[in-house]
Chain A
Amino acid sequence: MSEKIATTGAKRLEDPALLRGEARFIDDIAVPGMLHAAFVRSPHGHAAIGAIDKTAAAALAGVRAVFTLDDLMPHFKTERLVVGLPSPSYKQDRSRPALCGDETVHVGEPIAVVIAESRYIAEDAMALVGVDYDVLPAISDCRDALADGAPTAHRGAPDNLLAEFDMGYGDVDAAFAGAAHVFAESIWQHRGGSHSIECRGSVAIHDPMNDLLTLWSSTQMPHSTMRTLVEMLGRDESRMRVVTPEIGGGFGPKLVVYPEDAVVSVAALLLGRPVKWIEDRREHFIATTQERDQYWEVEIAVDGEARILGVRGSIIHDHGAYTARGVNIPQNSAESLTLLYEVPAFEMNIRLALTNKVPVTPVRGAGHPQATFTMERLLDRVARELGLDRAEVRRRNLIGPEKMPYEKPLKARGGAPILLDSGDYPKCQQSAIEKAGWDDFPARQRAERTQGRYIGIGLANFVKGTGRGPFEAVTVRVGPSGKIHVISGATAIGQGTKTMLAGIVAAQLGGDIDNVTVTTGDTGAIALGLGTSNSRLTVTAGSSAHIAAKKVRDKALDVAAHLLESSSHDLEIVGREVRVKGVPDMKVGLGQVAHAVAGSPGYALPGGVEPGMEATEHLVIDKTAYANGTAVAEVEVDIETGGVRILNYVLAHDCGRVLDPMIVDGQLIGGTAHGIGNALYEWMMFDDGAQPLTTNLADYLLVTAPEMPPIDLIRHESPSPLNPLGVKGVGECGVVPAPAAIISAIEDALSPFGVHISRAPITPPQIVALIAAGGDGKTV
């Protein structure tokens, strides 16, 4: 059955307003009487806080208030933002306060807020706030943090072990004991910040007439934000609304509920005036969550034919100073390490370390890039040691399509077993290496070397868990105007959510996406929602939208059949009309149909149907849809400068059924750019005192257009059996395999020098040092 499940027309509903500069982002909101906030932030990685002198700041012309925690605590019902996802593995509760009390534990932590008539004045006043600091030892490196006797990130803490857990299955000891070969790797991986081009921000507005507190926030999760704030403020949820404006990118860190959200909300209540806070880029470096270091010690056991017998090891993960999300990043990393391959025995110990740095929460990829990098480095090692082709080693171990769905003896965080729902991994790899010219490459490489040029090729397979459940709420409603309204708990952050939902709904109700309005990210519009994260919306919101739209369609046809004295089987919905197939003049408008079931006092509804032309759906999906793919990167390394140029990049991908190829490709290319950044450029550096060293975009490098290689995308579609659309998520997929493929290629290019790379990112100075140190000690 080729049912049309989405109307796509290579256009996006979001574009016209964005292209004209008419879309309203958080900093575009200006309301009468609005004040501006600026946060005084800790300059120390760890310090005790004594007296805070606000007098000079408060006296500055234009300043309306200077608040510290003492001023705000009477208005909070809970002291801390309790936002961590549940886990039995926590050993310490490190929820963070709305503002620092008597201790600050990372540079950038908010200590006081200045509220003034303009941001300019607020910043003037910030400089006048006097804070007594008693500097304490700061712990910077997460491995040092777990060493005996390390200074604790928090005063009075027993140690820096935030959480620890193990996972595994099978008889690992036996697997390793009997193995023909065992190879060990020590791997350092670092990911960086979100750096959406729009930073964070909120505007809190209290309407005293209705006692309604509205928080406009550039957040990925308005409903979670509202739940947290309702608890903290002790406010009736019917008196609070969190609503998103247009959002300029999220990439993960905007899903967190932050102290600034709580402070701005309370400030608006206390001052009786709207309060706006816009994060600037320096604040984004030191106060918005990010990902950072993971240190892996891993071993792989294989038989004489390079078939995997077992994988085991340990991870130390830098958690930062507080729990702003949970243990999910290293959990995802460990969990997804072996998913693509047949791995009979597996064991991983994971420890999360507290450090005096800004908290760590997922950035695009959420732990999957680290898993992919580690596994692919291990497989490259096996290939090199056994003298086998790297693609061949993978072929021998990839789970074959005939085994799908494939259950791994591991449980996901909600307790469900991990089930690979669909995918043809070997075919995906084969398509990528063919396109990339894998088999011919060695000859090309040899020829280039005779010219003194060093090119290399690398490959990486990945899976990405997508479509995180348990649901997303969608209401589809036809209004008396004939317009179709879609309201969802989903949140749009640039990925084309409105176009996606409109397309799915329009496919059932007339095929005209311009007749569909979409409201997302507003707790006032729909009661339940989980927002955007985990590449989840097409799976969850898309599925709910599809089912709701079908229900509305069936009802519309029934009511129209009644009005047209016809059978619903003879009717079709085209544009804004329901008409008899083949007799276009016999029609009734969608608006009329909606009107017919809106009811008139005393009159029965047609056909005995339920009132209203709407349906609300929360399709429950507990199992994860696993997207997969293979990346092949070709690079050239300048062995004298260590400079790396990516010559070509192939990405074969499978995100299930593709509804909108243009949007899917855009997500993959964007993710790939970020992944190139993680391979070669992005490094959020701190010194030993946990002082951030890269706090502007000249020192922290994002990929720009000239760094992008030509990219070939190859589409595979293995529909997921887990949802009625057969779709999987795609938003994070591009970023996952890029560092593994690129670094594998660099290592391949430098094989004459015996270079072995077990870190990401890798920079030119490091490449030059590795060449000088490697193999036969060639100097340049």
Chain B
Amino acid sequence: MKPPPFSYHDPTTVSEVVGLLSTLENAKLLAGGQSLMPMLNMRYVLPDHLIDLNRVEGLGYIREGSGGLEIGAMTRQRDVEFSQLVKRLCPLLSEAILHVGHRQTRNWGTFGGSLAHLDPSAEIPLVCAGLDAIVGVEGPDGGREIAFADFPAGYMSPAMGLDEVLSSVRIPNWGPGHGHGFEEFARRHGDFAIVSAAALLERGSDGRITRASLTVGGIGAAPVRVSAGEAALTGEAGSVALFRAAAEEARRIDAIGDVHAPASYRQHLAAVLIRRALAKAWARIEAG
């Protein structure tokens, strides 16, 4: 299983990258390689050009901006994993990243690479969906931002032009005291999730939920926000019965079936995991 022949480019600036993307036909971007290289080795993709992003300056950072957490596209997953800033501002991400592959893959896999790849079971897109992240891309006409809800265009297809490169991600903060819950069902430690779930809750001084975010991954082509469930939660006081009712909304999502699990099972898991994630999020709020 050896890669097919291609022409190799290793630009050092984002504008070089954009320039290459604009001029080369059938080009693929190489970020961490943990998703692309298996596909190349299996010859599932046959690019004429490989544009290696690993020498591009200025794409690896984790910082706090006015709008929230800012993560450069080429930031290694392991750096996100060990970042105290991420732990403080976005504990959901800190927890979810531990489920992304294994040490050897997180050392090299990138935050932006996982997003651009959009594997239906991946945890990073799930978290970005739940947090309403904003994806920054660079193209020949300059930079633009894409709200995550608009980012997946289809199965493993981001809504980006062929001449655009994902450069940054901005994750708006949830207020201090918010609760998060992350749940995943995978067959083995480190496997892609069969189904994953992320819950975020904010509670007002009257004890009622002021804001809720419920996201299910692995069930469709892209992570799905359970908006009906979110609506059912908002304005209510948290309770086991409420969370169960909200979770049942997740069971209604259209699901894919494959060798690992039939669609009906995924729907069932979605309900179970959203309920468990909600319970965790609520417990975190209660714990202060």
Residues of A at under 8 Å CB distance from B?
119-120, 123-124, 127, 280-282, 640-643, 681, 685, 693-694, 696, 698-699, 701, 703-704, 706-707, 764-765, 768-769, 780
Contact = CB atoms under 8 A, between A and B. Distances in A.
Contacts of A681: 187-188
Nearest to B186: A643
A768 B268 contact: yes
Interface string B20-62: 0000000000000000000000110000000000000000000
B259 A694 contact: yes
28 contacts: A120-B3, A123-B1, A123-B4, A123-B43, A124-B4, A124-B5, A280-B1, A281-B1, A282-B1, A641-B185, A641-B272, A643-B185, A685-B259, A698-B191, A699-B259, A699-B260, A701-B188, A701-B191, A703-B188, A706-B188, A706-B189, A707-B189, A764-B194, A764-B261, A765-B262, A768-B268, A769-B265, A780-B272
A765 B259 contact: no
Contacts of B268: 768, 780
B88 interface: no
Nearest to A282: B1
Interface in B178-220: 185, 187-192, 194
Contacts of A704: 188-190
Contact of A764 (B1, B4, B259, B265): B265
A768 B1 contact: no
Contacts, number: 56
Nearest to A640: B272
Contacts of B189: 704, 706-707
Contacts of A703: 188
A120 B259 contact: no
A472 B251 CA distance: 61
A706 B190 CA distance: 10
B99 to A, nearest CB: 12
The CB with the most chain A CB atoms within 10 A, among B191, B272, B273, is that of B272
Contacts of A707: 188-189
Contacts of A282: 1, 42
B86 interface: no
Contacts of B272: 640-641, 780
B269 interface: yes
A28 to B, nearest CB: 17
A463 B202 CA distance: 60
Nearest to A643: B185
A679 to B, nearest CB: 13
A535 B189 CA distance: 32
A753 B282 CA distance: 31
A694 B259 CA distance: 8
A765 B265 contact: yes
Given A764-B194, A768-B265, 15 more contacts: A123-B4, A124-B5, A280-B1, A282-B1, A282-B42, A641-B269, A685-B259, A696-B42, A699-B259, A701-B187, A701-B191, A703-B188, A707-B188, A707-B189, A765-B262
Nearest to B183: A641
A488 B2 CA distance: 37
Contacts of A120: 2-3, 5
A641 B193 CA distance: 13
A643 B190 CA distance: 15
A681 B192 CA distance: 15
Contacts of B4: 123-124
A769 B273 CA distance: 17
Contacts of A694: 259
Contacts of A706: 188-189
B112 to A, nearest CB: 22
Contacts of B42: 282, 696
Nearest to A696: B42
Contacts of B190: 704
Nearest to B187: A701
Nearest to B102: A704
A282 B194 CA distance: 23
Contacts of B5: 120, 124
Contacts of A281: 1
Contacts of A701: 187-188, 191
